[in-house]
Amino acid sequence: MVKKFELFVIGGGSGGVRAARYAAANGIKTGIAEGWSLGGTCVNRGCIPKKLYTYASNFSEEMELMQSFGWKLKNKSFSWKKLVLNKKKEIKRLNNIYLNLLSNSNVKIFSDFAEFVDNKTLKVGNDLIQAESYLIAVGTKPKNLGLCKENKLISSDNAFDLQDLPENILILGGGYIAIEFASIFKGLGVDVTICIRGKRILKDFDSEVSDFLSQELKEKGINIINNDFPKEIIFSKNKYKVFFKKNTKIYQKVLEATGRIPNIDKLKIHNTKVHTARNKSIIINDYFQTSQKNIFAVGDVVDRVQLTPVAISEAMTVIDNLKSAKKKKI
């Protein structure tokens, strides 16, 4: 039996959840599909866990400063497993908040991945869905450069859940995600090396910011390798053998933080007339409409400004346009 909606949202992240709730509040019969955990990148593997781990990593420096102000600390110790466990508890709490917000808004929730059958039909688990309009808000996933044939490199998605804290780690990439993880791991006592192809980290930021932060990282003891990048990485005996241009080094862990790409693999978007760019981002017009008029897209998957507040604003604009004759542009 086909289940019918006026709007069906694909993806339960910040943009998708806001769109679903806002649509339902405006009398639009709405459903949403999320095959993983509600909250998207921000809640599950981005903003929230990053902030928790940043707080944890800052305490090591704070404890050193406290002793200068007369405090005596006994039995200083850190448990990575406890941090991971408490992080999971907090995220679970937030997942449940999102679940309740959607349920209380009368949004029908499907806890499975969605895939297009055609321009007007979705398959979600064992259910077939037909809606007047669809909104794609599936976000992004970490880019895999294929440097390690054994495919054992960690990413920003799973770095929060390592079984054990490594003694040392190589971080590939010089963007803000790479720098944040470098600071976190260093604060937790890990020997950290950053490796970038170019001359400086944060190349999309002002050079003054990049230079200042680079100096700060070095003063914290973080090693930065410039103008070099691994040709190959081999995983053997639970360690990584990394082949640089002129030498080879061994690391316990290697984190690939070289960017993110649209997370559309499960969508079977080839069954629709929706056009995508070379980097797999969904192409939209000024009204968030794809090349298929009844299908819209917002958030990181359209590869514009990848920020939570932007995705939320875009989502609300789409809903406003669905219920109003006067359309808003981006």
Interval 67-97: pLDDT, tens: 889 888 887 889 999 999 999 999 999 999 9
pLDDT band, residue 65 (cuts 50/70/90): confident
Q: SS3 for 299?
A: helix
Distance of CA 25 to the CA centre of its chain: 28
Domain with CATH 3.50.50.60 in the chain: 2-142+261-323, 154-258
CATH class of 154-258: alpha beta
pLDDT at 327: 86
CATH number among 3.50.50.60, 3.10.105.10, 3.30.70.270, 3.30.1330.10, domain 2-142+261-323: 3.50.50.60
What is the rounded CA–CA span in Å between residue 284 and residue 117?
Answer: 21
Compute CA distances 68 → 64, 73, 77, 303, whole Å: 7, 11, 19, 47
Q: Where are the alpha helices (DSSP H) in 201-307?
A: 207-219
Q: Mean pLDDT lowest for which of 127-141, 174-188, 303-317? A: 303-317
Neighbour-count burial for 234-254, b at 16+ CB within 10 Å, e otherwise: eeeeeebbbeeeeeeeebbbb
pTM of the model: 0.92
